[in-house]
Amino acid sequence: MFDYTEIIKKAEILVEALPYIQALAGKTVVIKYGGNAMINDDLKHSVMEDITLLKYIGLNPVVVHGGGPDINAALKNFNIESEFINGLRKTDKQTMEIAQMVLVGKTNKEIVSLINQKGGKAIGICGIDGMLFECEKHFEIINGEKIDLGYVGTIKKVNTRSLEILTQDEYIPVVAPIGTDENGHSYNINADTAAAELAAALKAEKLILLTDVEGVKDSNGNILFTITRDKVESLIEDGIIVGGMIPKVMGCISALEHGVNRTHIIDGRIPHCILLEIFTNKGIGTMITQEIKPYYNNEKL
């Protein structure tokens, strides 16, 4: 007799996903795409398959991407050294021109092409299009001193109309984190920050940040699969959340304060990480939320 064990397991996975598909139908999910998932070819295809599937089953994914490795390679070709302050790249006029050329002309279009290859209908834009990201110059404060980073921007306003039109139709927007000020100057924006601001403006159901770490961990190194906002603040105060994880969790908190229901920090090095986080009960990374509020009666958070 044929052994149906493996086939039945696949059916069980689909059944586990059903209540999440029902809860998320028609909802917007903002995904920040970055880290190793932008470098490894197998992971690239895995992420694009996940994003395409989300659209086909009734969700509205919006992708915001970084592009650090591509920018670094281009600057190296021009013999331009990069300087980073608190994780932000100092950006003079020439560096800004190169960053915009790379993010909009190369990285963005490669992502669009990959999604289209998977059967999705992606459209690439940047924060300049439709005045999506209205910016002002960002100053980093260090020891009470304002540090001028050049053409690095802080988002003042997000104009979501163009994205709403696209997502209400069959399209998947792919957004490069470049914004503009009232004088038409372009600014480079941190991709995590841009994704959080965009999720807040769209009142997205979820914000998902792809990283190169497993998630937020406790003092013993164990992954915290579900934590509330107040727990995050205590983990920062206790020195458990440090370094580059701080701006990520603060972006999640900001998104939650502006109406996003759930935020996720997940390991983009795991194949199909987006599907595993959204459509399984345990997930694979850290979910940060204002309060523990299940999607369905038997959801274990």
Structural domains of the chain ordered from first start: 24-289 (3.40.1160.10)
Phi, psi values for residue 184, rounded to 5°: 85, 10
Contact yes or no for 84/20 (Cβ under 8 A): no
Query: Whole-angstrom distance between the N-terminal and C-terminal Cα of the chain?
Result: 39
Q: Which residues pair with 223 in a beta bridge?
A: 217
Sign of CA dihedral 206, 211, 213, 214: positive
Residue 69 near residue 38 (C-beta atoms within 8 A): yes
pLDDT of residue 208: 97
Average the pLDDT over 80-88 and give the result: 81
> Which one has a higher pLDDT value, 91 or 3?
91
Q: Are residues 48 and 118 in contact, defined by beta-carbon separation less than 8 angstroms? A: yes
Q: Is the pLDDT of residue 86 over 80?
A: no
Paired strand residues for 298: none
pLDDT of 87 over the 80 cut: no
Give tens-digit pLDDT for 228-277.
988 888 888 888 888 778 888 988 999 999 999 999 999 999 999 999 99
The pLDDT value recorded for residue 1 is 66
- What 3-state class would DSSP assign to 190? coil
Cα–Cα distances (Å) from 65 to 106, 127, 147, 246, in that order, read 12, 12, 26, 19
User: What does the pLDDT average to over 206-221?
Assistant: 90
How far lies 109's CA from each of 98, 112, 122, 167, in Å?
16, 5, 9, 18
More confident residue, 153 or 298: 153
Decide if 81 contacts 91 (C-beta within 8 A): no
Contact 135, 57 (CB under 8 A): no
- Give Cα 85 distance to the centre of its chain: 22
Joined tokens for residue 143: 């020891």
* Predicted local distance difference test score (pLDDT) of residue 298: 76
- The pLDDT of residue 201 is 96
Query: What pLDDT, on the 0 to 100 scale, is given for residue 124?
Result: 97
Stretch 45-62: mean pLDDT: 96
Residue 242's pLDDT is what?
80
Region 101-112 average pLDDT: 95
Give the sign of the dihedral formed by CA 29, CA 162, CA 34, CA 61: positive
Length of the chain, in residues:
301
Strand partners, 134: 157, 180
Average pLDDT of the residues in 165-189: 94
C-alpha 200/C-alpha 252 separation (Å) is 10
Amino acid in position 16: E
Q: Residue 136 forms beta bridges with which residues?
A: 154
39 pLDDT higher than 80: yes
